[in-house]
Structure 1
Amino acid sequence: MAPTKAPDSSRRSDRSRRAIHDAALALVTEVGYRRTTIEGIAARAGVGKQTIYRWWPSKAAVLMDAFLDLAGRAAEDAGAGAGSGDTGEPAPGIPDTGDLAADLKLVLRATVDELNDPALEAPTRALTAEGIVDAKLGAEFVHKLLDPQLALYVTRLRAAQEAGDVRADVDPRTALELLIGPLMHRWLLRTLPLTHAYADEIVDCAVGGLAPRA
């Protein structure tokens, strides 16, 4: 008789984690952060509540982990689509074609698409709002998600400084806030539609202010 193969516990854990991630994101999209509960996530994922508490201390931690996983997969998909040649490798960071405005417009338009994507919008709003009242969660959100993305802008703006397209006295960290700040302000307050045209306008205004003076 052939020996019975032992079940792969790591594969089962991966399936459970993914099911919990998907359940958390689905619930926060459908009913909002306040009405999302650990019990609801467990029921939706088909796991016991104790399984969730074994891996995460709170629903905020579950949602943070789920959103980071979702954002990572979205970045991989976007990178694969932006690969060059036949290698299929993603192009790292913000493109540097030598045209700063065009490169920034490309990235800000992609950001607009992400913020308007229903799959990403609800968990992003939930984590942003909860991070305001929960300092620990807010710091984790910034450290794990925002800082790595903002660092890409700093790198591209420094390259533009070296090329003479941005004034040497400009702080790249301040400069990137001229790009990201207006976009997030409109998105958070829902004052007006978030569009590619608005992203382009932000870039034109910001790059015009950052350019070397005659």
Structure 2
Amino acid sequence: MRRVDGTISATRKPQAACEKTTVISRTGPRRSESVRLAVLHAADDLLVERGFAALTIEGIAHRAGVAKQTIYRWWKSKVDILLDTLTDDAREALAWHVDEGDGDSGKDALTSHLQRVADFFEEPAGKVLQALLGQAQLDGDTAASLRDGFLREQRERDKAGLRDLLGCDGIFVDDRHLDRLVDLLLGPLYHRVLVFGAPIDKELVESTSRLVLTLAREMSTEAS
């Protein structure tokens, strides 16, 4: 995947605008994985290049080297395609790595995770999420699909990851407190990007990590 600044991410290599991916014809009830990936890669590349409003099924089909009818066979709209590419890319990019860090391991691991979230927003997949969140404010179907699918699933992953990380530090909180801690952990980052359109700096990452960990310890003490 290509970063917004033009450098190459480890996720995948960029595809030139004039280059079409070689795809395998669909011959049965299952769609070809090469077709699926070609369409998803084309969609997030074009979103970064042209923006959500200018993104079209025709453009995606041309960039991917597939027929428009092939796309409509598997996706109802460009929103559905973007949801698929977001789910694929975010699964690894937003994964929790509880065992990393040394010294004050809880703070180190939490800071590292928030930095990955910050980096994600600079990637094409992060731009996809921003575009879908914007569209969700205008379209109820997009909002429902995004919240009932990707956002709900990522929320569960975030709660599980934070629970495991805190547990490694001997901090245990109930589900209600855990839910609030996830809000406090990710809220400042989303606010910085979505409201102000500004990059997430190291100071925000470190201060958010430190404050959430401190609050989690206080909650754990109250619960014991």
TM-score, normalised with respect to structure 1: 0.74
Aligned residue pair count: 191
Aligned equivalents of 1:132 and 1:57: distance in 2? 20
What displacement does 1:204 show? 1.2
1:161–1:168 contact (8 Å) kept in structure 2:
no
Q: What is the CA RMSD across the aligned residues, in angstroms? A: 3.1
Decide which of 45, 49, 63 is 1:26's aligned counterpart: 45
Q: Percent identity?
A: 30
Residue 112 (structure 1) aligns with:
118
Aligned equivalents of 1:137 and 1:186: distance in 2? 23
2:107–2:209 contact (8 Å) kept in structure 1:
yes
Residue 185 (structure 1) aligns with:
191
After superposing the two structures, state which structure 1 stretch, 98-107 or 152-161, moved more: 152-161
2:55 alignment partner, SS class:
coil
Aligned equivalents of 1:203 and 1:100: distance in 2? 9
1:101–1:203 contact (8 Å) kept in structure 2:
yes
After superposing the two structures, state which structure 1 stretch, 22-31 or 203-212, moved more: 203-212
Alignment CA distance shift 1:106-1:162 (3 Å) = closer
Residues 31-54 of structure 1: per-residue CA shift (max 9 Å, x gap):
101011111111212222111111
Aligned equivalents of 1:149 and 1:122: distance in 2? 16
Alignment CA distance shift 1:64-1:158 (3 Å) = closer
Q: Does 1:121 align with 2:139?
A: no
Specify the structure having the higher radius of gyration (Cα): 1
Q: For structure 1, which runs of at least 5 residues remain unmatched after alignment?
A: 1-6, 80-91
Residue 205 (structure 1) aligns with:
211
Q: Does 1:9 align with 2:27?
A: yes
Amino acid paired to 2:153: P
Amino acid paired to 1:181: G
Q: How does 1:56-75 map to 2 (within 5 A)?
A: 56-72=75-91, 75=92
Q: For structure 2, which runs of at least 5 residues remain unmatched after alignment?
A: 1-24
What displacement does 1:134 show? 2.3
What displacement does 1:195 show? 2.0
TM-score, normalised with respect to structure 2: 0.71
Aligned equivalents of 1:125 and 1:190: distance in 2? 12
Alignment CA distance shift 1:14-1:192 (3 Å) = closer
Residue 140 (structure 2) aligns with:
135
Amino acid paired to 1:148: E
Residues 150-185 of structure 1: per-residue CA shift (max 9 Å, x gap):
223323544537965366696111111001001100
Aligned equivalents of 2:46 and 2:132: distance in 1? 14
Decide which of 146, 170, 173 is 2:151's aligned counterpart: 146
